[in-house]
């Protein structure tokens, strides 16, 4: 029963289906979950992270590993949250003044910087 388990935290880290869809960049699943009015985007996992926090952590992880295709996909996830739930997207991360939106932009900048470094290496600069 999808409705009964939509906010289930049976994952060993207490992640809901929305956490998992978001951090894995599953846009179809993410949209389907968010279309269900029973789905709560503010449920925190056992580490106190909302689904938006999970996406941010996944972006940082992918960017650190130069997996820019994954970064792009996860930024699309943030855009979905932005369009659907503005308050989550503007939520401050971990007691800082950084919002999910700001962090997404920083990761995009990091991606561009890495690309320029790659071009410099290719051009021998």
Q: What is the b/e burial string over 38-55, where b = at least 16 CB atoms within 10 angstroms of the residue's CB?
A: ebebebebeeebbbbbbb
Which residues, listed in sequence order, are joined to residue 99 by a DSSP beta bridge?
Answer: 92
Record the pTM: 0.66
CATH of the domain at 74: 1.25.40.20
Which residue in this structure is represented by tokens 């960017």? 63
d(CA 24, CA 107): 17
pLDDT of residue 80: 84
- pLDDT band for position 112 (cuts 50, 70, 90): low
How far out from the chain centre does Cα 42 lie? 14
pLDDT tens per residue, range 57-88:
888 888 888 888 898 888 888 878 877 665 55
Q: Cβ(53)–Cβ(93) under 8 Å? A: yes
Query: What is the pLDDT averaged over residues 87-101?
Result: 59
Range of the domain at 98: 2-123
pLDDT tens per residue, range 15-59:
999 999 999 999 999 999 989 988 888 889 999 888 888 888 888
What would the two tokens of residue 15 be? 């992640």
Which residue in this structure is represented by tokens 């600069």? 125
Q: How many independent structural domains does the chain possess? A: 1
């Amino acid at each position: 029963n999808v409705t009964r388990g939509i906010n289930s935290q049976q994952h060993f880290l207490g992640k809901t289906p929305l956490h998992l869809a978001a951090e894995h960049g599953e846009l179809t699943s993410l949209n389907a979950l968010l279309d269900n009015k029973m789905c709560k985007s503010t449920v925190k996992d056992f580490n106190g992270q909302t689904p938006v926090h999970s996406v941010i952590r996944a972006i940082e992880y992918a960017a650190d590993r130069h997996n820019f295709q994954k970064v792009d996909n996860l930024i699309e996830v943030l855009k979905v949250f932005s369009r659907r739930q503005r308050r989550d997207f503007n939520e401050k991360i971990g007691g800082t003044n950084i919002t999910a939106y700001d962090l997404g932009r920083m990761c995009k900048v990091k991606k561009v910087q890495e690309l320029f470094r790659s071009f410099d290496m290719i051009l021998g600069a």
